[in-house]
């Protein structure tokens, strides 16, 4: 793979994975399975390792997905809540075991625990009383949901017995029992509300509700899997959890100590068969080194502990009948075919629909209407068709033909060479695209406009109050208050959010426009290179390609977007409303080339600047923020608590380590 192809692939994966992260953690509307996400993430990790010059500090490989919400106070975790690396086969478990043995030798025990499928939580107890409950968030800080967690009956408010530390944290999974989930979806269906995709999403959504009394009515449950603190009673993870059970915590009885891999494999095989006997959803097994002393010795990578791995169960499969195929249009205009099936039970839930992804998949499967098809729930969430029982096909069955016109606006579809998806090009007149672009525009990482959720945008569109992004800035309070469930305070919050959004810098406005392939990083790069939207409009495709990291596909997309009269008209209107379409004079005047050509990795915490401030200073002075260390890294800017793995790699590669003081001297006038 050449550099340009690698850059295009990395850019595409960055944008795709960030979108899936947002839908998973913020909207609780996952579109792909855990397995498919992990495979894409692994592909991105490999590409970033092979082409470190294209590594992005905002890459999904560098962070834990975020479920932060502005509606809750954010609290920093005393101990980071990292994600686990995943394994999907016994061979991968053996590889994990071999890595452990190379570092610490033999003679240790594993603990195997069922991996409950819910929402992670960290509870702080002091003097035997619950003080705070915090979601995982971005792994560094999370949302304080103490009031909601107190409604969960399996969470002790005061501890039982004795022997617990004066202060400690315990981590677990908030789950919705299967029977509660099914009853909740039945009620939602009867009242015409959208159904939850699965118990995990239902638990996560419930935990972030503003009304604790509704949370209490949802009958959430909790299982605990890790005790953390400085003065724990035992060295063994298993032993501390058994103690925690005596203090009043719900600890799974399925937890087991294993002395070797054979016992681990026996545990995996047992629960692969028996997992549906558990009242809450499980999607795998977590395998941990038992000794906390050995855990400390093994340490962490950038985003996961070396001493633990999550084994994911294989997807369950069932046969059913394909009744019809319908088509959905996304924000970018991509058209996704959806298979409508005879209802069939898989992995504890009834499946009626499955994604077919694109026309190539339909051709590959050779799908015909009324075919008997095999359906899997990849990662226990998103169903997909994996095969067809062709010998059961009726001789007169009609093949499934991919549509050639948009199902929403009847515009002829297009398919770009080298891409799998068909697109509707009518981005300013196709209803799902219009609503999707508005949702993107108001999202947290774009314009961050409070109060404008999916339902409100749907209502605004259906009432004819908005037909595009620009119409948001013409809304009046009296129009908003006429909407169902929209009070005076909610309406004012939206208007205040719109006014506040006018302070957003040019790079965020550019990202918010929703130009295909222009993610956050690309938008920032373009903004700092061209300074204004007017300059960007003047750039040819070839001129854009001359900008470092801007490839042919991005350049083509930007030129195409800015040649559309409707887009230009919208941009001019947004300018008149006061949105920023140029870099501030201050940013331009402060820009230097003092760090030009330097790639800098930031690690640890700092006394005088936040990590985000340091990243801005690096970019402002012509440098590049890099998330991982390689031979091409120029410096590591290190603060307190620098990650041990980064320190070790820096020493191996001979990368210079500089302090905050050293860095400021490098950029001072």
127 and 262 in one domain?
yes
In a domain, 333, yes or no: yes
In the predicted model, is pLDDT for residue 102 greater than 80?
Answer: yes
In a domain, 416, yes or no: no
Residue 343 has a pLDDT of: 92
649 and 510 in one domain?
no
In the predicted model, is pLDDT for residue 321 greater than 70?
Answer: yes
Residue 370 has a pLDDT of: 95
pLDDT in tens, 123-139: 999 999 999 999 998 88
352 and 479 in one domain?
no
* Interatomic CA distance for residues 602 and 299, integer angstroms: 19
* Interatomic CA distance for residues 96 and 111, integer angstroms: 14
191 contact partners, CB below 8 Å, separation of at least 6: none
DSSP string, 296-331: HHH-B-SSSBTTEEEEEPPPPEEEEEEEEEEEEE-T
Torsion of CA 49, 55, 58, 60, to 10 degrees: -30
| φ, ψ of residue 117 in degrees (nearest 5) | -100, 90
Residue 26 has a pLDDT of: 46
In a domain, 408, yes or no: no
The most confident of 54-58, 110-114, 226-230, 522-526, by mean pLDDT: 110-114
DSSP state of 338: E
In the predicted model, is pLDDT for residue 111 greater than 60?
Answer: yes
* Interatomic CA distance for residues 395 and 13, integer angstroms: 42
451 and 380 in one domain?
no
In the predicted model, is pLDDT for residue 452 greater than 80?
Answer: yes
Q: CA nearest 426: which of 338, 329, 512?
A: 329
Would you place residue 191 in the very low, low, confident or very high pLDDT band (cuts 50, 70, 90)?
low
Q: CA nearest 603: which of 524, 652, 653, 659?
A: 659
In the predicted model, is pLDDT for residue 564 greater than 90?
Answer: yes
3-state secondary structure of 624: strand
User: What CATH number has the domain bearing residue 135?
Assistant: 3.30.470.30
DSSP string, 57-119: TT-GGGS------TTS-EEE-SS--PPPPEE-SHHHHHHHHHHHHHHH-S---EEEEEEE-SE
- Residues marked active site are found at 115
In the predicted model, is pLDDT for residue 379 greater than 50?
Answer: no
In a domain, 181, yes or no: yes
Of 9-23, 297-311, 400-414, 490-504, where does mean pLDDT reach its minimum? 9-23
| φ, ψ of residue 591 in degrees (nearest 5) | -75, 135
Residue 188 has a pLDDT of: 72
203 and 257 in one domain?
yes
Q: Do 346 and 383 meet the contact criterion of CB atoms below 8 Å apart?
A: yes
Domain boundary (312, 340, 359) is at 312
Residue 5 has a pLDDT of: 85
User: What CATH number has the domain bearing residue 600?
Assistant: 3.40.50.10190
Residue 323 has a pLDDT of: 96
* Greatest CA separation for the chain: 80
In a domain, 411, yes or no: no
211 and 112 in one domain?
yes
Q: What share of the chain is helix, strand, coil (3-state, %, to 5)?
A: 40, 20, 40
In a domain, 72, yes or no: no
User: What CATH number has the domain bearing residue 380?
Assistant: 2.40.50.140
Q: Which residues of 397-414 are buried (b: 16+ CB within 10 A; e: fewer)?
A: eeebebeeebebeebebe
In the predicted model, is pLDDT for residue 55 greater than 80?
Answer: no
Phi-psi region of 150 (alpha: psi -120 to 50; beta: other; left: phi over 0): alpha
CA 294 to each of CA 74, 100, 235, 286, 573: distance values in angstroms, whole numbers, following the listed order? 32, 10, 9, 17, 61
Q: How far is CA 564 from the centre of its chain?
A: 32
Comparing 24 with 428, the larger pLDDT belongs to 428
226 and 113 in one domain?
yes
pLDDT in tens, 570-619: 999 999 999 999 988 777 777 788 888 888 988 887 888 887 788 878 88
User: What CATH number has the domain bearing residue 58?
Assistant: 1.10.287.610
pLDDT in tens, 223-267: 999 999 888 999 999 999 999 999 989 999 999 999 999 999 999
* Interatomic CA distance for residues 668 and 664, integer angstroms: 6
As given in the structure block, the two tokens for residue 133 are 């409950």
Would you place residue 194 in the very low, low, confident or very high pLDDT band (cuts 50, 70, 90)?
low
The helix or strand, by DSSP H or E, that contains position 264, with its residue range, turns out to be helix 261-274
Q: Do 354 and 386 meet the contact criterion of CB atoms below 8 Å apart?
A: no
346 and 476 in one domain?
no
Residue 40 has a pLDDT of: 85
Q: Do 164 and 155 meet the contact criterion of CB atoms below 8 Å apart?
A: no
Q: Do 108 and 291 meet the contact criterion of CB atoms below 8 Å apart?
A: yes
Of 115-119, 126-130, 164-168, 380-384, where does mean pLDDT reach its minimum? 380-384
Angle at Cα 369 formed by Cα 365 and Cα 371, nearest 5°? 60
Comparing 68 with 72, the larger pLDDT belongs to 72
Residue 380 has a pLDDT of: 45
The most confident of 41-45, 189-193, 270-274, 396-400, by mean pLDDT: 396-400
| Domains in the chain, number | 5
57 and 20 in one domain?
yes
Residue 67 has a pLDDT of: 57
In a domain, 67, yes or no: no
Of 9-18, 68-77, 142-151, 587-596, where does mean pLDDT reach its minimum? 68-77
566 contact partners, CB below 8 Å, separation of at least 6: 428
Comparing 8 with 646, the larger pLDDT belongs to 8
In the predicted model, is pLDDT for residue 63 greater than 80?
Answer: no
Domain boundary (282, 312, 342) is at 312
Which pTM value belongs to this model? 0.55
In the predicted model, is pLDDT for residue 214 greater than 90?
Answer: no
In the predicted model, is pLDDT for residue 359 greater than 60?
Answer: yes
Q: How many residues does the chain have?
A: 669
Q: Do 274 and 216 meet the contact criterion of CB atoms below 8 Å apart?
A: no
Strands in 110-116's sheet, in edge-to-edge order, are 86-87, 308-312, 282-289, 110-116, 256-258
277 and 373 in one domain?
no
158 and 18 in one domain?
no
State the average pLDDT over residues 284-297: 93
In the predicted model, is pLDDT for residue 94 greater than 90?
Answer: yes
In the predicted model, is pLDDT for residue 66 greater than 60?
Answer: no
State the average pLDDT over residues 642-647: 71
* Interatomic CA distance for residues 308 and 153, integer angstroms: 29
Q: Do 369 and 324 meet the contact criterion of CB atoms below 8 Å apart?
A: yes
What range defines the domain where residue 347 resides? 317-392
Would you place residue 395 in the very low, low, confident or very high pLDDT band (cuts 50, 70, 90)?
very high
**Percent of the chain, pLDDT > 70?**
93
Q: Do 602 and 614 meet the contact criterion of CB atoms below 8 Å apart?
A: yes
**Percent of the chain, pLDDT > 90?**
48
Residue 198 has a pLDDT of: 77
Domain boundary (268, 286, 312) is at 312
* Interatomic CA distance for residues 532 and 506, integer angstroms: 8
Q: CA nearest 570: which of 468, 424, 426, 425?
A: 468
As given in the structure block, the two tokens for residue 503 are 């302070």
456 and 599 in one domain?
no
């Amino acid at each position: 793979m050449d550099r340009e192809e690698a850059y295009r692939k990395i850019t595409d994966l960055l944008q795709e994975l960030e979108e899936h992260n947002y839908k998973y953690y913020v909207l609780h509307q996952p579109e792909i399975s855990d397995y498919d996400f992990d495979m894409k993430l692994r592909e991105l990790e490999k590409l970033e390792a092979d082409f470190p010059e294209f590594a992005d500090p905002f890459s999904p490989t560098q962070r834990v997905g975020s479920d932060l919400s502005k509606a809750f106070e954010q609290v920093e975790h005393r101990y980071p809540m990292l994600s686990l690396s995943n394994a999907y086969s016994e061979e991968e478990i053996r590889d994990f075991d071999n890595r452990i043995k190379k570092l610490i030798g033999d003679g240790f025990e594993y603990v195997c625990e069922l991996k409950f499928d819910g929402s992670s939580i960290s509870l702080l107890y002091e003097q035997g009383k619950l003080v705070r409950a915090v979601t995982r968030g971005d792994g560094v800080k999370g949302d304080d949901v103490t009031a909601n967690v107190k409604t969960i009956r399996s969470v002790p408010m005061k501890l039982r017995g004795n022997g617990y530390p004066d202060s400690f944290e315990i981590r677990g999974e908030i789950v919705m029992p299967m029977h509660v989930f099914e009853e909740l979806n039945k009620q939602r269906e009867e009242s015409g509300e959208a159904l939850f995709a699965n118990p995990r999403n239902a638990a996560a959504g419930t935990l972030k509700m503003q009304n604790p009394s509704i949370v209490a009515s949802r009958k959430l449950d909790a299982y605990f899997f890790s005790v953390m603190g400085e003065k724990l009673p035992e060295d063994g993870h298993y032993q501390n959890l058994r103690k925690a059970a005596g203090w009043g915590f719900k600890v799974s009885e399925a937890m087991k100590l294993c002395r070797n891999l054979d016992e681990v494999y026996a545990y995996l095989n047992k629960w692969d068969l028996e997992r549906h006997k558990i009242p809450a959803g499980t999607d795998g097994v977590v395998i941990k080194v038992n000794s906390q002393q050995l855990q400390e010795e093994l340490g962490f990578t950038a985003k996961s502990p070396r001493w633990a791995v999550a084994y994911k169960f294989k997807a369950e499969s069932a046969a059913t009948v394909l009744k019809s195929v319908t088509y959905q249009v996304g924000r970018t205009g991509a058209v996704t075919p959806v298979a409508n099936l005879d209802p069939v039970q898989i992995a504890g839930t009834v499946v009626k629909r499955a994604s077919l992804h694109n026309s190539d998949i339909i051709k590959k499967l050779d799908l015909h209407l009324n075919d008997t098809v095999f359906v899997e729930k990849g990662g226990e969430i998103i169903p997909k068709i994996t095969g067809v029982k062709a010998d059961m096909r009726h001789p007169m069955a009609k093949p499934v033909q991919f549509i050639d016109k948009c199902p929403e606006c009847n515009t002829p579809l297009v398919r770009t060479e080298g891409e799998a998806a068909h697109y509707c090009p009518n981005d300013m007149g196709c209803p799902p695209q219009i609503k999707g672009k508005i949702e993107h525009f108001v999202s947290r990482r774009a314009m961050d406009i409070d109060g404008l959720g999916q339902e409100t945008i749907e209502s605004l569109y259906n009432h004819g109050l908005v037909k595009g992004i620009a119409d948001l800035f013409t809304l009046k309070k009296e129009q908003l208050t006429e909407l169902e469930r929209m009070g005076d305070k909610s309406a004012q919050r939206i208007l205040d959010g719109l006014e506040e959004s006018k302070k957003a810098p040019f790079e965020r406005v550019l990202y918010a426009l929703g130009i295909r392939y222009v993610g956050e990083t690309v938008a920032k790069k373009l903004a700092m290179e061209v300074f204004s939207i007017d300059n960007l409009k003047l750039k040819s495709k070839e001129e854009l390609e001359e900008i470092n990291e801007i490839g042919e596909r991005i350049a083509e997309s930007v030129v195409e977007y800015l040649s559309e009269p409707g887009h230009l008209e919208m941009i001019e209107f947004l300018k008149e409303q006061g949105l920023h379409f140029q870099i501030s004079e201050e940013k331009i005047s402060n820009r230097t080339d003092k760090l030009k050509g330097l790639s800098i990795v930031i690690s640890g915490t700092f006394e005088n600047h936040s990590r985000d401030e340091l990243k801005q200073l690096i970019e402002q002075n012509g440098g590049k923020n890099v998330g991982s260390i390689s031979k091409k890294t120029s410096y590591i800017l290190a603060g307190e608590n620098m990650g041990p793995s980064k320190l070790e790699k820096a020493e191996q590669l001979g990368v210079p380590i500089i302090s905050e003081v050293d860095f400021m001297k490098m950029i001072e006038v």
